[in-house]
Chain A
Amino acid sequence: MTALLEVSGVSVTFDGFRAINNLSFNIEAAELRAIIGPNGAGKTTFMDIVTGKTRPDTGTVTFGERSISLLSLSEAQIARAGVGRKFQRPTVFEDQTVAENLTMALKAQRAPWRVLFWRETQADRDKVAALAAEVGLSDALARKSGELSHGQKQWLEIGMLLAQEPRLLLVDEPAAGMTLAEREHTTALLVEMAKTRAVVVVEHDMEFVRRLNCKVTVLHEGSVLAEGSLDHVTRNPQVIEVYLGRG
């Protein structure tokens, strides 16, 4: 079986600083993967490359069965191809209602002309209601999302990602700023989502990664240092030295 996302030999340099150095790894079609690493290991840059925000100097990134190269696509085209991204800070459109936010994210035609003549059907309303229920925002559909609490905004953003129906989901520190109960809910949701699609979680909270109970990739100075189960990588002496040994 070929991988859903194949990153091979990718390097990127910012003003002489090598943020990603010959990075290669694969993500399967239905897999939960945690990426950990100290600050500056290249976690966010990796996400920027996959989502088209940053262009690498060398290397290839291919996606899907037909192995389309993501490097020649714009951010919007990559998103339409099925890559969703969750930012560290919740970014929702605060001036618009929860329902409007979700409707915008619903998988549909994205061209201006099609959107102009798009009219909401009952099926769309049902989908939005179901998504809102899944992330616990059913009562807040008509509220402006700017009024939501920090945790609720995180949920709304996760709901928007679900609405996009991505095949690969990149999640940047989902547990940041969440309460314990919210973390448990998030863990369950991520595990559930990974049954039908690939989910890549960037996190530095070890406790949270342990809960996810999945394969872990450790990044260090822009390349893969170790890969395997959490117990496996935490026994790796190099990992202990560069990452865990600090504390």
Chain B
Amino acid sequence: MSRTFFAKNPSVLWFLLILALFTLAVTVLSEAYGVAFISTSFVKTLGKTLCLALVALAMDLIWGYAGILSLGHMAFFALGGYMIGMWLMYARTDEIVVAALAQGGLPATAEEIRQGVATQIFGVVGASDFPPIWYFAHSFWAQIALVVLVPGILALVFGWLAFRSRVTGVYLSILTQAMTLALALYLFQNDSGLRGNNGLSGLQNLPGLDAVSQDDVSMWFFWASALALGIGYLLLAWVVSGKFGSVIRAIRDDEQRVRFLGYSVEGYKLFVFTLTAVIAAIAGALYYPQAGIINPAELAPIASIYLAVWVAIGGRGRLYGAVIGAAFVSLLSSWFTGGRAPSIPLGFYTIDWVDWWLVILGLSFVAVTLFAPKGIGGLFDLATGLRSPNRRGAPLGPDDGALMEKEAKE
């Protein structure tokens, strides 16, 4: 079965091969395990990019395949980050507090340590007790489970309410955007229990690994991100290759007809929504330890809109398109906004890319939507000689004697 799967989907093998070669190349060029050609901060950028590619894959499944333009998937991404961040921050602070109390001579009691950790973490928002949502923060495995459970259950409940009342199209997009905005506003409050607008910080320091330099840690996360992206790609390629993929594409094109075929459209949407939310959360849990900090601004609606822009520019409806879009646009974005792109002096005005990058991005989004709806991924069709005929809006073959695709090709 697996042979026929790869034979039918050669792009999956190509993708995994390229990802493996890329990972190997970065490893060889890294400071920790190679010739130190790539700086550790750039390794982190690349690792984060792989996580963004993974969440873009999820976006492609729900938007490109199932036709649901969710503008809230970065909320699940950030929630995944928060869940792992809670453990990282707790365990790390715990170490520091234990070390500090040990200096006092007497061994500290568990209650003293707990109180010390709470004061350290929540002093910044004027509290000194753990909120109930930190109940599991001491346990790595519990927080790992919450990475999947919290966004998964949120998506399940939200999706159930939205899809059951048959909210579709732009109304659903607005609803998902309202969800992420509401969540962000809630987290901005100091008494939300997640340190308000300070967010969680110091996430790049792994507890118990003080001796290990960030050079090594960054490579570990890079490998983990590459592995997650590879597995995610394989999983989603498998999901869309069979009858399930057929059904969700059918839902995208005509959901009423799918109902009359006997498929429960709401069930499929809910399944896809929850699955993609969980994938987004896992991507987030790998992203934020590399970023080092997470705050409620990460849940702002604009983040989810960026996600849609990446997928549109990369080419929706094909998995590698989403990966290309996310990698290309986010790397370009960090180059332009990182101050490394040289400003262009025009004499009367200096084009400063930090300001103008968003304009470029917006224009290219419009251009792609209008002139190249297949996005960057469409270039692969050009390369293999597959061209869709210009139908000028009319469907190909409304009447007798319609052309086949290869006949219609000039």
Q: Assess whether B242 is in contact with A93, with CB atoms less than 8 Å apart.
A: no
Contacts A74-B259, A149-B402 aside, 11 further interface pairs with beta carbons under 8 A come to A51-B260, A53-B256, A75-B256, A77-B264, A104-B250, A110-B263, A143-B405, A146-B396, A147-B402, A151-B400, A179-B400
The interface of chain B, by Cβ under 8 A from chain A, is 1, 239, 242-244, 246-247, 249-250, 253-254, 256-257, 259-265, 267-268, 271, 395-405
The contact sample of 19 A-B pairs, CB cut-off 8 A, is: A75-B259, A76-B264, A76-B265, A87-B257, A91-B257, A93-B246, A93-B253, A96-B246, A96-B249, A105-B261, A110-B262, A110-B264, A111-B264, A112-B244, A112-B268, A118-B242, A147-B404, A149-B402, A150-B398
Q: Are A147 and B403 in contact (CB under 8 A)?
A: yes
Q: Is A22 an interface residue (CB 8 A)?
A: no
B399 touches A150 (CB 8 A): yes
Instruction: List chain B residues, Cβ under 8 A from A149.
Output: 397, 399-402
Give me the 10 closest cross-chain CB pairs, A-B, nearest first: A79-B262, A75-B259, A80-B262, A112-B271, A76-B264, A116-B244, A149-B400, A93-B250, A91-B257, A147-B397
Cβ-closest chain B residue relative to A104: B246
A113 to B254, CA, bound (A): 21
- A164 lies within 8 A of chain B by Cβ: yes
**What is the distance, in angstroms, from A218's C-beta to the closest C-beta of chain B?**
26
Indicate with 1 or 0, residue by residue over A144-175, a CB within 8 angstroms of chain B CB atoms.
Answer: 10111111000000001000100000000000
Which residues of chain B are within 8 angstroms of A146 by Cβ–Cβ distance?
A: 395-397
With contact pairs A116-B244, A146-B397, A150-B398 given, residues A76 and B262 touching in the complex (Cβ less than 8 Å): yes
- Minimal beta-carbon separation of B266 from chain A (angstroms): 8
Query: Is A104 a contact of B243 with CB atoms below 8 Å?
Result: yes
Out of A85, A100, A143, name the residue touching B260 (CB < 8 Å).
Answer: A85
Closest to B252 in A: A95
Q: How many residues of A contact B (CB 8 A)?
A: 40
Question: Quick one: given A96-B246, A112-B267, are A104 and B399 in contact (CB under 8 Å)?
Answer: no
Q: How far is it, in angstroms, between the C-alpha of A116 and the C-alpha of B256 when the chains are bound?
A: 21
The total of interchain contacts (Cβ-Cβ below 8 angstroms) comes to: 97
Cα(A147)–Cα(B244), bound, Å? 23
**A-chain residues with CB within 8 Å of residue B261 when the two chains form the complex:** 79, 104-105, 160, 164
CA distance A105 to B247 in the complex (A): 10
- Chain A interface residues toward B at CB < 8 A: 51, 53, 74-77, 79-80, 84-85, 87, 91, 93-96, 100, 103-105, 110-113, 115-116, 118-120, 143-144, 146-151, 160, 164, 179
Say whether B260 contacts A75, CB under 8 Å: yes
**A116–B249 Cα gap in the complex (Å)?**
14
Give, as a whole number of angstroms, the nearest-CB distance from B276 to chain A.
Answer: 13
Once bound together, how far apart are the Cα atoms of A164 and B257, in whole Å? 13
Instruction: Evaluate contact between B243 and A79: CB separation under 8 angstroms.
Output: no
Residues of B within 8 A of A144 (CB): 405
Asked, given contacts A76-B263, A79-B260, A93-B253, whether A115 binds B396 with beta carbons under 8 Å apart, the answer is no
Note all chain A residues with C-beta closer than 8 A to B247.
104, 115
* Smallest CB gap from B401: residue in A: A149
What residues of chain B lie closer than 8 Å to A110, measured between beta carbons? 262-264
| Residue ID in chain B nearest A100 by CB atoms | B246
Nearest CB in chain B: distance from A111 CB, A:
7
Contacting pair B1 A95 (CB below 8 A): no
CA–CA, A85 to B257, complex, Å? 9
Name the B residues within 8 Å of A113 (CB-CB).
271
Residues of chain A within 8 A (CB-CB) of B401 are 149
Bound together, the chains give a CA A150 to CA B399 distance in angstroms of 5
Q: Name which of A79, A96, A115 has the most chain B CB atoms within 10 A of its CB.
A: A115
- Contact partner of A111 (CB less than 8 A), chosen from B257, B267, B398, is B267
Q: A143-B404, A149-B400 are in contact. Are A103 and B264 (CB under 8 A)?
A: no
State A115–B263 Cα separation when bound (angstroms): 10
Q: In the complex where A119-B1, A147-B402, A149-B399 touch, is A74 in contact with B257 (Cβ < 8 A)?
A: no
- B399 engages A76 (CB within 8 Å): no
* B243 CB contact (under 8 Å) in A75, A94, A118: A118
Residues in chain B near residue A93, CB distance under 8 A: 246, 249-250, 253-254, 257
Question: A170's closest neighbor in chain B, by CB?
Answer: B260
Q: How far is the CB of B330 from chain A (nearest CB, A)?
A: 29
Residue from B246, B267, B271 whose CB has the most chain A CB atoms within 10 Å: B246
Q: In angstroms, how far is the closest chain B Cβ from the Cβ of A79?
A: 4
Residues of A within 8 A of B405 (CB): 143-144, 147
The residue in chain B whose Cβ has the minimal distance to the Cβ of A140 is B404
